[in-house]
Amino acid sequence: MSIGAGSSELSDVEGSQGNPDKEEKDIGWLVAKNFIEIFSGLFYGFLVAALFSLTNYIPIPDKILVWIKMLMMFSMAIVTPILAYVTQFPEGKYIGIIFFGYGCNCLWKTKK
Amino acid sequence: MIFFGCFARNIFESSEPDVYYEPWADWVRQVCLSTILMMGGLELSFAGKGLTVVLLTIGPQFGEAFMAAICAKFIFDLPWLLSIALGFCLGAVSPAILVPSCMALHNENYGTKKGIPTTLIAASSFDDIAAITIFGVCMTM
């Protein structure tokens, strides 16, 4: 089993001899699932960024806080692909991570 | 690094599979890309350049992707969906190249008055999102 992107179902669709209505519904559902994954990635990114913004209220010197933030960011980069694999949402991970970075940029401002 | 990778893959072909476990290598690649995209996200800024970002996202990528798709269709006789998937695979901007370069330009204050490095980072991030989405949809269909 691989953590990579989802496998193609193109060949299955091309060679399928099954019910066309069911096939069309399945394709519709798979496309909708793609969009659900993308928007859930967006939501995940902003949600985690909002949670991480709470670190600004930790009463420790900024020099130490920056290193803590860096470790947290690296841990997010490591955890997100695993989370995407476990939740079967592979399309959302990169969008999630970009908007997580953007959310942190907006909420942390110069304290990054 | 690319040259050395090609060299190692072809010269040490017999011992290469013992060196790393493919799913782990895949995961390491994903972590590296996530780190780069996160760095890009930390530099994103849309203030006053929304239209520029949208045009930079759509124009070059879609042009390149559809030209590649048309070529793939007529040269390799691929199905249209697979051709478009290939086009968006080729048309996506590599964040591994663009983000560190733009961050270096930003740090040295090149083009910062007009916000060129941040605009490019924003456009490339959205470019990747569009490429991933359309590639995923084409492969699903």
The label of the residue with tokens 């399945």 reads A26
pLDDT of residue B20: 64
pLDDT of residue B15: 61
**Percentage helix, strand, coil, to 5, in chain A?**
75, 0, 25
Please, what's the largest Cα pairwise distance for chain A?
A: 66
Instruction: Evaluate whether residue A24 is within a structural domain.
Output: yes
Q: Is the CB of residue A34 less than 8 Å away from at least one CB of chain B? A: yes
Asked if pLDDT for residue A2 goes beyond 50, the answer is: no
Instruction: Evaluate whether residue A79 is within a structural domain.
Output: yes
Q: Is the CB of residue A10 less than 8 Å away from at least one CB of chain B? A: yes
Chain B residue with CA closest to A104: the answer is B42
Q: What is the DSSP string of A76-106?
A: HHHHHHHHHHHTT-TTHHHHHHHHHHHHHHH
CB atoms within 10 A of CB B135: 22
Residue range of the domain that includes A53? 19-108
- The predicted model gives A11-15 an average pLDDT of 46
Residues of A whose CB is below 8 A from B136: 5-6, 34, 37, 91
If you count DSSP H runs as helices and E runs as strands, how many of each does chain B have, helices first? 7, 0
| Residues of chain B below pLDDT 50 | none
pLDDT of residue B117: 83
Instruction: Evaluate whether residue A8 is within a structural domain.
Output: no
Please give the Cα distance from A26 to A19 (Å, whole number).
Answer: 11
Instruction: Evaluate whether residue A52 is within a structural domain.
Output: yes
pLDDT of residue A5: 46
Asked if pLDDT for residue A7 goes beyond 50, the answer is: no
pTM above 0.80, yes or no: no
pLDDT of residue A14: 47
Residues of B whose CB is below 8 A from A78: 31, 34
pLDDT band at A112 (very low <50, low <70, confident <90, very high): low
The Cα angle at residue B140 between residues B134 and B141, in degrees rounded to 5: 90
pLDDT of residue B99: 81
For chain A, what is the domain count? Answer: 1
Instruction: Evaluate whether residue A57 is within a structural domain.
Output: yes
Residue ranges covered by each domain of chain B: 51-141
- The predicted model gives A80-102 an average pLDDT of 85
Q: Cβ separation of B136 and A91 shorter than 8 Å? A: yes
Asked if pLDDT for residue A32 goes beyond 60, the answer is: yes
Asked if pLDDT for residue A70 goes beyond 80, the answer is: yes
Averaged confidence pLDDT in chain A: 76
Instruction: Evaluate whether residue A63 is within a structural domain.
Output: yes
Instruction: Evaluate whether residue A6 is within a structural domain.
Output: no
pLDDT of residue B14: 65
Residues of B whose CB is below 8 A from A101: 37-42, 44
